[in-house]
Amino acid sequence: KVTITIDNQTIEVPENYTVLEAARSIGIDIPTLCYLKDVNEVGACRMCLVEVEGARNLQTSCVLPVRDGMVVKTNTKKVREARKATLELILSNHERECLTCSRNNNCELQALAEELGVRDIPFEGEKTNLPLDLSSKSVVRDPNKCILCGRCVSVCAQVQTVGVLGFRERGFETTVGPAYDKGLGEVPCINCGQCIAACPVGALREKESIDYVWEALDDDSKHVVVQTAPAVRAALGEEFGLEMGTRVTGRMAAALRRLGFDKVFDTDFAADLTIMEEGHELLGRLQNGGKLPMITSCSPGWIKFCEHNYPEFLDNLSTCKSPQEMMGAVIKSYYAEKNNIDPKDIVVVSVMPCTAKKFEADREELAATGYQDVDYVITTRELGRMIKQARIDFVNLPDEDFDEILGESTGAAVIFGVTGGVMEAALRTVAEVVTGKELEKIEFEQVRGMEGIKEAEVTLGDKTVKVAIAHGTGNARKLLDDVKAGKKEYHFIEIMACPGGCINGGGQPHVSAKDRYTKDVKAERAKALYAEDEAKTIRKSHENPMIKKIYEEYLGEPNGHKSHKLLHTHYAP
């Protein structure tokens, strides 16, 4: 412990603290811009300047370690003027089109200008006028809005270990993007959108599909069906000022109906279906000497990461399509036939916490009926925008149910949205199928939590099955390197591209660096999903009555002929 005095308050703090951390521990909020806890701690933007007794120059508090006896002032005239001058400099060559920016009212730069009391910008700097990077199906990069904070660069390189973003050129010419001026769609970007989540401004954003969805909704010749991913319900409320972790499942269904969708279905139904297919696939591989470890295939960012970095594991992937794709395929086959609708007239819209799902929906492997399984993907944020554009009073909506029958799901399905959830859902079903006995306890605590890599041994009948879970592709890389080197052996692995799983996907509502500092975003949203699981009467995928029905009426059996045609695929090297 060291003793430090900040703004006349003397406190004791751990010796590994920075001055910023020490100040925040007593509620003194030093402003930051480039700082992102544990990810980007570089002291580049100089917004967090403080005065330190005995030092001639102002110091950047986010990288300044505390020292015993240190005396710090965070709110002197000198500090205020320096911060304001720095901000004015950034603003002087920033494209200040706030009104039409996707981050209007939700921008950390805008908020700082307000907080620091910037009322005019004394000089106009030279502005860049560079083309937008529209090459990716998921992420749009607008270099004119970039403030060079480096947060996206750090997330992409250090957390995801993808490393396709970097600083290019020097001085005024500096931009952030892929090397050699390439577009994000031309490099091994995995579309995870974690860079968007890290961006304080509007320089990185999803490629919006809102206009296409409005157009489909306005077209009377189209039957427009929507599905919502598990994690959306855990975060959509944040777009409307509800507390993080508020579950808005019923209000979300109500809003979608009011937007005009003909049917409101739940990706969770398809998650249950995935468990039936993937669970039986695992049993098959265990019994017949198939390729092990089997690895989950539902996270499209992870699939792309695998294709670029670990092609030798492509045959380990489960052949199951992701739930979003299974749902699309079922809507355009079973549902279409049952209701006598030509699949060409059906438009499937997915609401996803994920930007990579936009890329997935366009993959040519995923068009079981001759049409793309899914037509348009919008993120949780985009759904928030549509609800606002329709002027729906979201907070005060009544709770409504999803439509039958593709809206019926179990507790096992809803936890898909959090790391370890697919594994737990699979274990619930596989354990009962193998033993023929009902589980005494259906919670598998070993696979829960936010540890980067989790391992467990599970007894299934007379066999012990070794499983592992990784979330965030940086962790996936570590795990796969160990498997490759023969250091670890598993039967079944769950990998999700985003840290925390889909709840923290690149399409979820923005959380400022400041809120990320104080709130555990992943844990809060995860709680909402575990609560929904607990509240469900049916919590195992194989007990979903509508899943039983679709096998009876249409699919036959898991991994059967029809399933293979509609619900499985193969990603070739």
Q: Which residues bind ligand SF4 (CB under 6 A)?
A: 139, 155-156, 160, 162, 164-165, 184, 189-195
Residue 298 known to be catalytic = yes
Q: How far apart are alpha carbons 272 and 122 in whole angstroms?
A: 59
For residue 461, the one-letter residue type is G
Instruction: Look at residue 137 and give the partner it binds from ligand SF4, ligand HC0, none, a contact being a CB closer than 5 to 8 Å depending on partner kind.
Output: none
**Nearest distance from residue 304's CB to ligand SF4, in Å?**
8
Stretch that binds ligand HC0, among 226-234, 331-339, 375-383, 563-571 (CB under 6 A): 226-234
Residue 278 known to be catalytic = yes
Q: State which residue, 154 or 409, has the beta carbon closest to ligand HC0.
A: 409
391: which 2 tokens?
A: 């002027």
Instruction: Look at residue 155 and give the partner it binds from ligand SF4, ligand HC0, none, a contact being a CB closer than 5 to 8 Å depending on partner kind.
Output: ligand SF4
Report the residue count for the chain: 573
**Nearest distance from residue 328's CB to ligand HC0, in Å?**
10
Quick check: 357 binds ligand HC0 (CB under 6 A)? Answer: yes
Q: How far apart are alpha carbons 445 and 421 in whole angstroms?
A: 10
Instruction: Look at residue 379 and give the partner it binds from ligand HC0, ligand SF4, none, a contact being a CB closer than 5 to 8 Å depending on partner kind.
Output: none
Residue nearest to ligand HC0 as judged by C-beta position: 502
Q: Which residues of 529-565 are buried (b: 16+ CB within 10 A; e: fewer)?
A: bbebbeeeebbbbbbbebbeebbeebbeebbeeebee
Instruction: Look at residue 505 and give the partner it binds from ligand SF4, ligand HC0, none, a contact being a CB closer than 5 to 8 Å depending on partner kind.
Output: ligand HC0
Q: What are phi and psi of 544, to 5 degrees?
A: -65, 115
Instruction: Look at residue 164 and give the partner it binds from ligand HC0, ligand SF4, none, a contact being a CB closer than 5 to 8 Å depending on partner kind.
Output: ligand SF4
**Nearest distance from residue 335's CB to ligand SF4, in Å?**
32
458 half-sphere exposure, CB direction, 13 A CA radius? 29
Which runs of consecutive H residues, i.e. helices, occur in 339-494? 356-361, 380-389, 411-414, 421-435, 473-484
Give the footprint of ligand HC0 on residues 255-294 (CB under 6 A): 267, 271
Alpha-carbon torsion (293, 191, 367, 257), positive or negative: positive
**Nearest distance from residue 209's CB to ligand HC0, in Å?**
15
Among 200, 353, 500, 509, binds ligand HC0 (CB under 6 A): 353
Give the footprint of ligand HC0 on residues 402-421 (CB under 6 A): 416-417
Catalytic residue, from 108, 360, 382, 524: name it: 360
197: which 2 tokens?
A: 């989540």
Of 74, 378, 114, 389, residue with least CA distance to 224: 378
According to DSSP, residue 108 is labeled: H
- Decide the pairing of beta strands 463-471 and 453-460: antiparallel
Instruction: Look at residue 299 and give the partner it binds from ligand HC0, ligand SF4, none, a contact being a CB closer than 5 to 8 Å depending on partner kind.
Output: ligand HC0
According to DSSP, residue 461 is labeled: T
Residue 41 known to be catalytic = no
Q: Cβ contacts of residue 507 below 8 Å, gap of 6+? A: 193, 196, 206, 352, 353, 354, 355, 357, 379, 380, 381, 382
Among 502, 526, 547, 566, binds ligand HC0 (CB under 6 A): 502
Instruction: Look at residue 231 and give the partner it binds from ligand SF4, ligand HC0, none, a contact being a CB closer than 5 to 8 Å depending on partner kind.
Output: ligand HC0
Residue 365 known to be catalytic = yes
Alpha-carbon torsion (35, 37, 43, 49), positive or negative: positive
144 half-sphere exposure, CB direction, 13 A CA radius? 13
Q: Cβ contacts of residue 189 below 8 Å, gap of 6+? A: 136, 139, 162, 164, 178
Q: How far is CA 248 from each of CA 252, 261, 449, 509, 525, rounded to the nearest angstrom?
A: 6, 18, 22, 14, 11
Q: How far apart are alpha carbons 525 and 246 in whole angstroms?
A: 8
Quick check: 422 binds ligand HC0 (CB under 6 A)? Answer: yes
- Angle (CA) 109-153-102 rounded to 5° is 40
Q: State which residue, 187 or 217, has the beta carbon closest to ligand SF4.
A: 187
**Nearest distance from residue 357's CB to ligand HC0, in Å?**
5
Give the footprint of ligand HC0 on residues 472-501 (CB under 6 A): 496, 501
Q: State which residue, 377 or 465, has the beta carbon closest to ligand HC0.
A: 377
323 half-sphere exposure, CB direction, 13 A CA radius? 32
Residue 318 known to be catalytic = yes
**Nearest distance from residue 160's CB to ligand SF4, in Å?**
5
Q: State which residue, 165 or 282, has the beta carbon closest to ligand SF4.
A: 165
Instruction: Look at residue 160 and give the partner it binds from ligand HC0, ligand SF4, none, a contact being a CB closer than 5 to 8 Å depending on partner kind.
Output: ligand SF4
Q: State which residue, 14 or 131, has the beta carbon closest to ligand SF4.
A: 131
**Nearest distance from residue 521's CB to ligand SF4, in Å?**
17
Residue 502 known to be catalytic = yes
Q: State which residue, 343 or 472, has the beta carbon closest to ligand SF4.
A: 472
Quick check: 318 binds ligand HC0 (CB under 6 A)? Answer: no
Instruction: Look at residue 353 and give the partner it binds from ligand SF4, ligand HC0, none, a contact being a CB closer than 5 to 8 Å depending on partner kind.
Output: ligand HC0
Q: How far apart are alpha carbons 464 and 492 in whole angstroms?
A: 12
Q: Which residues bind ligand HC0 (CB under 6 A)?
A: 229-231, 267, 271, 298-299, 322-324, 352-354, 357, 416-417, 422, 496, 501-502, 505
Catalytic residue numbers? 278, 281, 298, 318, 357, 360, 365, 502
